[in-house]
Amino acid sequence: MLLQKLCEYSQRLDDLAPFGYNKTNIRWLINLDAQGNCLGFITTSSGKKNDRGKVFFTPSVMKSVNIKASLLVGNGEYVLGIARDPEKAREKPKYANDVSKRHKAFKEQVQDCATTTQNPLVQAVLHFLRFSDLQTLPLPPDFNPDMNLSFQVDGTLPIDLSEIRSYWARLQGGEQSLDSEAASSQCLACGTFCIPTERFPIKFRVIGGGQSSGMTLVSANASAFESYGLKASLIAPVCRDCAENSAKAYNALLEKEDSRLNIGPLVYLFWTRRETGFNIASLFSQPQPEQVKELLRSATRGRLYDALDAEAFYATALSASGARVVVRDWLEITVGEVKDHLARWFILQRIVDWDGSDSSPYGLFTLTRSLIPQKGDMQRDMPPNVPRVLLKVALQGGPLPAWIMFQSIKRNRAEQKRPDRPDQIAIWRRRWSIRAALIKMVLLSQQSNLQEDAMVQMDEGNLHPAYLCGRLLAVLEQVQFLAVSPKATLIDRFYGTASTAPASVFPRLLRGAQAHLGKLRKERFGAYVNLQTRLEAVMGSLSSFPMVLTLEEQGWFSLGYYHQRAWDRSQAKARKEAGKVVAENDAITEEKD
């Protein structure tokens, strides 16, 4: 299915390379006259460091460890016989011999083209290769044999000629040498009976951790991967046209920012059957508030029928395994359904920021990054399947699994201690806010009746014991902070126990709070009254402390704690903005940075 849809997408490409051609960077053009005399080198580089030159459509071959020359384009070893590693060529005769073989294969390919087509421009190139002393050829000062070269003859690039393109297409289409049984295979993409390609003619662009020389989607290089004696790409028969077009479509999708999303070791590709103007990648990478608001408004009022909403939408998750592209997930749905699910997705994650203000929508990378250590590595430390599951729920709807909440709660416990440096405090607060959104998403996604404003901010009507315990811990933290301003708060010492076994720790915390309240009553009576009122409001709805909290209840605890802290900060902020004296008459909830 994936190959079929990629082939369909390739027909939409305005810059689809001719058959047997692919996009290639060419650093230099060897400028020849009509007789094949060298007039110098033409650089296509912008001058920037490591610039490999301008991109051209060039004849393509699927290279491996074997020597295989392309037509009229290649690196310095193929085109000029200049070793990429001169020192190695001097010390290892085998490597020097391989360089000579590559150059010989290149000349033979040019000679075959010149003989078959009788094209004068190709004959000029052949004359240059035969009769020029390539060892004394004046090279550009910045010449690098790792980079590609091609030819310009009398102002024209031979690789651009339709005659040369037709020659290369015929040559590539006739390379199969299979028996009659293999020749009757049915292509998995187009369904026609064909001679399947033994290897995909164009390499797939590299994704994170993949082989740097290029990758392939279908391949078997060991007997364990082979089926019915079929090797290489023959294990999944695909005709050469479909193999080439699917690779070109994949590479094109990977080039475009609006169809690609990278999260750690995974890359996601998105596209539609026809052009719809719907840029979903930006909604996942860097969602803008206005863009999300328009999506929510559209879903709330109900969209009028739009023919584009009925178009098919495709998404796939890919990763690398050596030289192979691994398909982790595949989705086929309509654009209209995706928009509805995305609107739900942003409703699920909506929550107040750490200071009680409206938060901005979170992208997929931001949500995923909050679950690993602050200085951790996305590829090494990311919990398996997190981005894939988040994306799947965003596109298809349904509930988020409870283990996402477990990862959030576990990271909250690991980062419960507030850092000392102001720049780290801001990051620490934001990460807590993001994980609170994740916990809310899990809890809310499991409810059938979704309300847009549910769990966004502190809910005094929520009498869930775990939620009340979380709120209570936040109030007790503030009592301690205002009374003694300790370096190690009760959150640093008791958050883990309070969030799992409240009955074992809250009686002790309440006893300790009495001394702190007594001090506040003498020194800051307004703050004392305010905090005492908050304690009574929470305790009045809490008949007893639960002995043990389940995973779901731990999620409610985390939300209660976060909501109460955000509400406290918003109240203090509002009083300060109103010009009221907070220091003596209210509980200051803003920590000193």
Q: How confident is the model at residue 121 (pLDDT cuts 50, 70, 90)?
A: very high
Select from 125, 142, 173 the last residue of a domain: 173
pLDDT tens string 204-228 = 888 888 887 788 888 776 666 666 6
Q: In angstroms, rounded to a whole number, what is the distance separating the alpha carbons of residues 557 and 554?
A: 5
pLDDT of residue 213: 74
Residue 266 lies in a domain: yes
Give the range among 95-99, 302-306, 399-403, 414-418 with minimum mean pLDDT. Answer: 302-306
Which pLDDT tens digit goes with each residue over 41-61?
999 988 787 788 999 999 988
Same structural domain, 97 and 223:
no
Task: Choose the final residue of a domain: 204, 227, 247.
Answer: 247
Residue 430 shares a structural domain with residue 285: yes
Compute the average pLDDT of residues 558-565. 94
Model pLDDT for residues 500-551, shown as the tens digit of each residue: 999 999 999 999 889 888 988 888 888 888 889 999 999 989 989 999 999 9
Give residue 83's domain range: 18-173
DSSP H helices in 447-549: 465-484, 490-498, 506-523, 525-539
Whether residue 486 lies inside any domain: the answer is yes
Co-location of 71 and 193 in the same domain: no
Cα 53 to chain center, whole Å? 27
Both 151 and 217 in one domain: the answer is: no
Count the domains in the chain: 4
Beta carbons within 10 angstroms of residue 169's beta carbon: 15
Helices 335-349, 386-396: crossing angle, 10 deg rounding = 120
Name residue 326's beta-bridge partners: 319
pLDDT at 134: 86
| Inside any domain, residue 70 | yes
| Shared-domain flag, residues 156 and 192 | no
Per-residue pLDDT tens over the stretch 293-338: 888 877 655 554 566 788 899 999 998 888 888 888 899 999 889 9
Statement to judge: residues 304 and 263 lie in one domain? yes
Cβ-contact 264, 382 below 8 angstroms: yes
Give the mean pLDDT of the chain: 86
The answer on 345 and 387 residing in a single domain is: yes
Give the pLDDT band of residue 63 (cuts 50, 70, 90).
low
Is there a domain that residue 1 lies in? no
Q: d(Cα 505, Cα 365) in Å, to the nearest integer?
A: 36
Residue 308 sits in the same domain as residue 432: yes
- If asked whether residues 477 and 509 sit together in one domain, one would say yes
Kindly tell me if the per-residue pLDDT of 11 is higher than 50.
yes
Please report whether residue 451 resides in a domain: no
Please check whether residue 7 lies inside any domain of the structure: no
Of 173, 204, 239, the last residue of a domain is 173
Give mean pLDDT, residues 288-297. 84
Q: Per the domain annotation, does 588 fall within a domain?
A: no
Q: Does residue 532 lie within any of the structural domains? A: yes
d(C-alpha 529, C-alpha 538), whole Å: 14
Check whether residue 402 and residue 338 sit in a common domain.
Answer: yes
Look at the block and give the residue holding tokens 């206005």. 290
Q: In this structure, are strands 54-59 and 149-153 parallel, antiparallel, or unpaired?
A: unpaired
> For residues 410 and 278, which has the higher predicted lDDT (pLDDT)?
410
- Same structural domain, 308 and 269: yes
* Same domain, residue pair 422 and 275: yes
